[in-house]
A and B are shown apart, each in its own frame.
Chain A
Amino acid sequence: MTKKGLFLDGVTIALEGRVLVSLTRRVAPGEVLTVMGPSGAGKSSLLAYLGGFLEPAFTAWGRALVDGVEITALPAEERHVGILFQDPLLFPHMSVAGNLMFALPESVKGRAERTRHAETALAGVEMAGMGDRDPATLSGGQKARVALARVLVSEPRMLLLDEPFSKLDMELRQQMRMLVFSKARESGLPVLLVTHDEADAKAAGGEIVRIGE
């Protein structure tokens, strides 16, 4: 039972010998751990370390395990860590459905089956029938929802959220928070959220860690 979820075991990020973040925490499936702090405090570097993309200027050590698998020992593409940034970052050279198919694991075989998966995922974020659209023609809120559908369809082990709501306007922001957190709970994904918006932290409902203060 204790093996389920995310376990950060002494995860430490340092820049030029100065420790920015050091964390040991457990995040149960469906739960959210919120890391708050001013910019430059190392929030994004923490996510980059877990995702496998830490800038060479930083040094980091410590282990991160998801469901008992030490992801920090794996190359980035084998970690299956889903990331949502403040920009939706939909691939501009693929249709909406193309974006989802790109994320869909290879284990889902057959064109028809893959299309069906993508359709279902789109319907799950109230974007049914929008698969043929060019991502550039979507509204901000629609893009955010496609990005969420895309990350969910990739069957990640966990979610990393890098201030994913900060570029949305007030009304949309609240909707997206609800949607993202409920989807994460539904799928039983442990979530690590970094933000400097107190409202994000409150909506997430989980433990809050403050760094760089």
Chain B
Amino acid sequence: MLTRFGPLITILLLTGPIAFGLAGTVLPAFGFLPVLGGMELTLHHFRTLFSQPAILTSVAISLTAGLVTALFSLGVVVLFVAGWAGTRLFGRVQHLVSPLLSLPHAAAAFALAFLIAPSGMVVRLLSPELTGWERPPDLLVVHDPMGLSMMAGLIVKEIPFLLLITLAALPQVQLKETRMLAASMGYGRVAGFLLGLWPAVYRQIRLPVFAVIAFATSVVDVALILGPMRPSPLAVRLVEWMNDPDLSMRYLASAGALLQLGVTAAALGLWMGLERVGRIMCIVGVEMGVRMRRDALLRGAALLAMGLAAGAVFAGLATLALWSFAGLWQFPDALPASFTLKSWMRALPRIAEPLYTTLLAGLLATLIAGLLAILCLIREEETGRRPRRALMLLYLPLLVPQVAFVFGLQLFLVYADLLATLPALVLAHLVFVMPYAYLALKDPWYAFDRRYNQVAAGFGKGRWRRFALVRLPMMTRAVLAMGAIGFAVSVGLYLPTVLVGAGRLTTITSEAVALASGGDRRIVGVYAFWQMLLPMLGFGVATLVPALIFRRFRGMQV
């Protein structure tokens, strides 16, 4: 039976590349790399690694970035949900923030960079009236050595992610009732939520939080756009070594990738320590009878932080769009002196191919991931088992630092002569699209009223016709939404594209990041604009198509 292969292929797909990838990373780290003649086991490469200049600073930056990003973004989300969930304002902010989820990390980072750079929009709006600056100040705001702007770039992108994950978990708890109960006992909104509901919610979003930490400790694209340069975060240096024409640098890169694994694991370990502190604080809070009745200030701060995070990205995106159409734009003018299509025309011949690759890889990866997700869900339904452990497996590609296993995978692709081919790129994207496809489809899948199947079977319809004529049409909206999410994930992928595409197969995102160092804001604006546009198109299709197909049927409207 076909469905039996669904879970099997999915598991192989999730674990295979990671297992092979890790093997391909770990072995060369210890000196084993037969293609380059490395046959003896040695710790030599680790000695080389630790003798690299400022390597420990790189490690420290990566570790801090992971923890600070998770702490800040989760903190804002928790306080915002605690203070505002259930209000009308909450719904509005949610609508405002949700589109940011589909924005690639790199595009958000560009947006922030265009906003806060010394010649960015914020300084322009304030100059020269308030600052007196007639030329951009010599400040290291972007690329600051401590990585603050990089963390800011990560935080503004992870806030929408964690907010939507939290929202998905909220229906599992009795928000309204517990709120009323806590209020009747004299608890403020925030305290009532934190003490009464948060533990149950957090348990459900723990893996996504871990994924945020793993991503932030090993991020490359955001770090290239906003992060420190001397030294860079560990993952950025790894990629430099991996791309070094001197092949013997691969040993060093492998040893570094292993170190990266350790850094991410350490960050997760520290986070679990923080979890314990949080738990104890909750218990102590209850025992001491903390009520926090006057939490208006805290609620206000949470709302402000939320608004600021979303507002910054939107303002940045607007700035970036302006740049892409800007003619002459001198400092400190807030607007360009003229508008022109020149940048778009100039980018056009170069952008066609990456655009094509982005679309093709994204659509193929999403299609395959969607099919596999459906097969897995059908199989789960047939057997009546909802595998819990498999869920861990699903998060594996999101928990293992990309740089640690995609590098090893690259090695195998070189062996198989598949490097920089479309199938390899699709496979690499599939590993990351698959988890999101499954997670996006799971809830609507189970929400489907299965009695429709029984009714249809009573009319003599076999399982495939029941699926094609009843379930699939009724789930069109959910399936297309899943597709839009998967496509957005694929569009945003940077590192897997760079390592597997090897510079010969490029996407909008990999090209945009490559242009970042060049400093041509107009061209970067065009690329970042496309990055923003593609996921939006996906969601547009996912909304419009079902609305059009089923326009006659009210039961099929949202």
Say whether B521 faces chain A, with CB atoms less than 8 Å apart. Answer: no
**Beta-carbon nearest neighbor of B470 in chain A:** A91
A56 near B384 (CB under 8 angstroms)?
yes
**Beta-carbon nearest neighbor of A48 in chain B:** B454
**Beta-carbon nearest neighbor of B383 in chain A:** A56
A136 near B454 (CB under 8 angstroms)?
no
Digitize A110-138: 1 where CB-to-B-CB distance is under 8 Å, 0 elsewhere: 00000000000000000000000011110
B556 near A102 (CB under 8 angstroms)?
no
In the bound complex, CA of A156 to CA of B454 (Å): 13
B555 near A135 (CB under 8 angstroms)?
yes
Question: Which of A80-88, A192-200, A201-209 contacts the other chain?
Answer: A80-88
B553 near A51 (CB under 8 angstroms)?
no
Q: How far is the CB of A47 from chain B (nearest CB, A)?
A: 9
- 17 additional contacts, CB 8 Å, given A75-B462, A83-B455? A53-B454, A55-B384, A56-B383, A76-B458, A77-B462, A79-B457, A80-B458, A82-B458, A83-B451, A83-B454, A91-B452, A92-B474, A92-B555, A93-B474, A95-B552, A103-B459, A134-B553
B474 near A83 (CB under 8 angstroms)?
no
In the A-B complex, list the 4 residue pairs whose CB atoms are closest, starting with the nearest: A92-B555, A56-B384, A136-B555, A136-B554
Say whether A66 faces chain B, with CB atoms less than 8 Å apart. Answer: no
CB-CB contacts below 8 Å: B543-558 with A: 550, 552-556
**Beta-carbon nearest neighbor of A135 in chain B:** B555
Digitize B436-458: 1 where CB-to-A-CB distance is under 8 Å, 0 elsewhere: 00000000000001111111111
Known: A51-B454, A89-B452. Is A154-B556 also a contact (CB below 8 A)? no
Please, which residues of chain A bring their CB within 8 A of the CB of B384?
Answer: 55-57
Please, which residues of chain B bring their CB within 8 A of the CB of A156?
Answer: 458
Return 27 A-B CB contacts under 8 Å, by A number: A48-B454, A51-B457, A53-B450, A53-B454, A53-B457, A56-B385, A57-B384, A75-B462, A76-B457, A77-B457, A77-B460, A79-B458, A81-B458, A83-B451, A83-B458, A85-B455, A87-B451, A91-B470, A92-B553, A93-B555, A94-B553, A102-B456, A103-B459, A105-B460, A134-B554, A135-B555, A154-B459
| Other-chain residue from B382, B451, B463, B554 in contact with A77 (beta carbon distance below 8 A) | B463
Say whether A70 faces chain B, with CB atoms less than 8 Å apart. Answer: no
Please, which residues of chain A bring their CB within 8 A of the CB of B462?
Answer: 75, 77
Q: Output the residue of B455, B463, B474 with the most chain A CB within 10 A.
A: B455
In the bound complex, CA of A176 to CA of B449 (Å): 23
**Beta-carbon nearest neighbor of A95 in chain B:** B552
Q: How far is the CB of B454 from chain A (nearest CB, A)?
A: 5
In the bound complex, CA of A94 to CA of B455 (Å): 14
Say whether A52 faces chain B, with CB atoms less than 8 Å apart. Answer: yes
Please, which residues of chain B bring their CB within 8 A of the CB of A94?
Answer: 553
In the bound complex, CA of A154 to CA of B457 (Å): 11
Q: How far is the CB of B7 from chain A (nearest CB, A)?
A: 15
B556 near A51 (CB under 8 angstroms)?
no
Digitize A55-80: 1 where CB-to-B-CB distance is under 8 Å, 0 elsewhere: 11100000000000000000111111
A53 near B473 (CB under 8 angstroms)?
no
Say whether B299 faces chain A, with CB atoms less than 8 Å apart. Answer: no
* Majority secondary structure, B binding face: helix
Please, which residues of chain B bring their CB within 8 A of the CB of A134?
Answer: 552-555
Say whether B469 faces chain A, with CB atoms less than 8 Å apart. Answer: yes
Digitize B377-404: 1 where CB-to-A-CB distance is under 8 Å, 0 elsewhere: 0000011110000000000000000000
Please, which residues of chain A bring their CB within 8 A of the CB of B383?
Answer: 56
Known: A77-B460, A83-B454, A154-B459. Is A136-B553 also a contact (CB below 8 A)? yes
Q: How far is the CB of B405 from chain A (nearest CB, A)?
A: 36
Q: Output the residue of B458, B469, B553, B555 with the most chain A CB within 10 A.
A: B458
Say whether B237 faces chain A, with CB atoms less than 8 Å apart. Answer: no
Please, which residues of chain B bring their CB within 8 A of the CB of A51?
Answer: 454, 457-458
In the bound complex, CA of A103 to CA of B461 (Å): 9
B interface residues, Cβ below 8 angstroms from A: 382-385, 449-463, 466, 469-470, 473-474, 550, 552-556
Say whether A146 faces chain B, with CB atoms less than 8 Å apart. Answer: no
In the bound complex, CA of A129 to CA of B30 (Å): 79
In the bound complex, CA of A181 to CA of B420 (Å): 68
B473 near A93 (CB under 8 angstroms)?
yes
**Beta-carbon nearest neighbor of A160 in chain B:** B458
Q: How far is the CB of B285 from chain A (nearest CB, A)?
A: 40
Q: Output the residue of A77, A87, A151 with the most chain B CB within 10 A.
A: A77
In the bound complex, CA of A56 to CA of B553 (Å): 34
Q: How far is the CB of B306 from chain A (nearest CB, A)?
A: 36
Please, which residues of chain B bring their CB within 8 A of the CB of A53?
Answer: 450, 453-454, 457
In the bound complex, CA of A65 to CA of B488 (Å): 53
Please, which residues of chain A bring their CB within 8 A of the CB of B552?
Answer: 95, 134
Please, which residues of chain A bring their CB within 8 A of the CB of B474?
Answer: 91-93
In the bound complex, CA of A55 to CA of B552 (Å): 35
Please, which residues of chain A bring their CB within 8 A of the CB of B459?
Answer: 102-103, 154
B553 near A80 (CB under 8 angstroms)?
no
In the bound complex, CA of A127 to CA of B134 (Å): 79
Q: How far is the CB of A180 from chain B (nearest CB, A)?
A: 15
**Beta-carbon nearest neighbor of A58 in chain B:** B384
Please, which residues of chain B bring their CB within 8 A of the CB of A103?
Answer: 459
Q: How far is the CB of B446 from chain A (nearest CB, A)?
A: 13
A77 near B461 (CB under 8 angstroms)?
yes
Q: How far is the CB of A114 from chain B (nearest CB, A)?
A: 13
Q: Output the residue of A57, A79, A83, A87 with the most chain B CB within 10 A.
A: A83
Q: How far is the CB of A187 from chain B (nearest CB, A)?
A: 15
In the bound complex, CA of A53 to CA of B469 (Å): 19
**Beta-carbon nearest neighbor of B469 in chain A:** A102
**Beta-carbon nearest neighbor of A147 in chain B:** B455
In the bound complex, CA of A79 to CA of B462 (Å): 11
